[in-house]
Chain A
Amino acid sequence: MSISVLVADDSKLSRRSVIRALPEDLEYAICEATNGKEAIELLSDTSFDLVLLDLTMPEVDGVGVLEYLSDKADAPNVIVISADFQPEKQKIVTSLGAKRFLRKPLDKEELAMAMFELGYL
């Protein structure tokens, strides 16, 4: 099984960590966005199965991306992966439709569990 994944994070190190953490059971078609604006551009003309989204990004932040997606009927599942894990922040992203909230530094097993719960594994 192959799924299309958008990894949106302004940090190259973080994008690399996220991609390395993806479970090996699947094949992936991966796109990368270096800020929220790029992510929205990609989301507007490409269909993704899953978005792995950072919150603290320049141009447009992760909340902005979620706001954009909240207006779309066919929005992909979003797993937020952020260092800013305050309860208030988690409430905001959940209310905007994010399916899971994972803390940085990302734990590989937590990502696998989230993807399992969302039916990818």
Chain B
Amino acid sequence: MSIVLPLDEDQRDALQELLNISMGQAANSLAQLIETKIDISIPKISTVTPNELYSLLFETTDSFYTRQSFLGDIHGEVMSVLSQSGLAEVAKLMDYDEPLDKEDVQEIILELCNILAGACLSGLSDQLELTTNLNMPTLFQPEKSNFSDLQWQHTLVMEVQFIIAISSFSMRVVFCLDDESLARMKTTLDELLG
């Protein structure tokens, strides 16, 4: 994967740390809800082309996929990849009755996206003192989607992973920013670092 990182080392370090703090807040929200420990990864920050983004997201099979756009001072898209494995155990922790029907599964996926992806974006925006509004997530199938509607050549990707310790469930959240938003974020990070 070709990486052209548009952030300098200090900006990248700062963004990674702010994202780490946001992830901690998001994980704590879910941990309180399901009374279970959530492991969080070290955030990865990279720059990819739309094709590379496709490969990055869809390298795994047996997953559910959601995307949700956000608008405001910075805009872009949040894509989440949730493992099918372990979802039933998470549902149980969320007090869903077995067996799960299709609507239950969809509701759980969207709820997890709202809690984890939503809290992450909200935490990041708050720390950067930027306003963002996240739209509702929608489920999509990678084989039926194309990323030609991503109108930018390179996307800043911030990738985080949550793992629910007692199940085999994991969720990756990828934040994509366009060039204009990236420029805004760099300015804000410089102000923070100054």
Contacts and interface: CB of A to CB of B under 8 A. Distances in A.
A14 B17 contact: yes
Contact of A11 (B17, B22, B127): B17
Interface residues of A, number: 19
Interface string A46-75: 000000000011100000000000000000
Interface residues of B, number: 22
Nearest to A16: B193
Interface string A74-98: 0000000011111111000000000
Interface in A1-58: 10-14, 56-58
A104 interface: yes
Nearest to A83: B24
Given A84-B27, A86-B31, A105-B21, A11 B13 contact: yes
Interface-central residue, B28, B38, B127, by most chain A CB under 10 Å? B28
Contacts of A12: 10, 13
A85 B24 contact: yes
A61 to B, nearest CB: 9
B42 A88 contact: no
Nearest to B20: A83
Given A56-B20, A56-B42, A88-B37, A83 B25 contact: yes
B16 interface: yes
A11 B14 CA distance: 7
Main secondary structure of the interface of A (DSSP, over half): loop
Given A82-B24, A83-B25, A105-B127, A11 B16 contact: yes
Contacts of A57: 42
B37 A86 contact: yes
Nearest to B127: A105
Contacts of A13: 10, 13-14, 17, 192-193
Contacts of B31: 86-88
Given A14-B17, A86-B37, A88-B31, A104 B193 contact: no
Nearest to B193: A13
Contacts of A85: 24, 28
B84 to A, nearest CB: 25
Contact of B40 (A11, A14, A84, A87): A84
Contacts of B37: 86, 88-89
B23 interface: yes
A10 B173 CA distance: 21
A90 to B, nearest CB: 11
A11 B20 contact: yes
19 contacts: A10-B42, A11-B13, A12-B13, A13-B13, A13-B193, A56-B42, A83-B20, A83-B23, A83-B25, A84-B28, A84-B40, A85-B24, A85-B28, A86-B31, A86-B38, A87-B31, A88-B36, A104-B21, A105-B127
Interface of B: 10, 13-14, 16-17, 20-25, 27-28, 31, 36-38, 40, 42, 127, 192-193
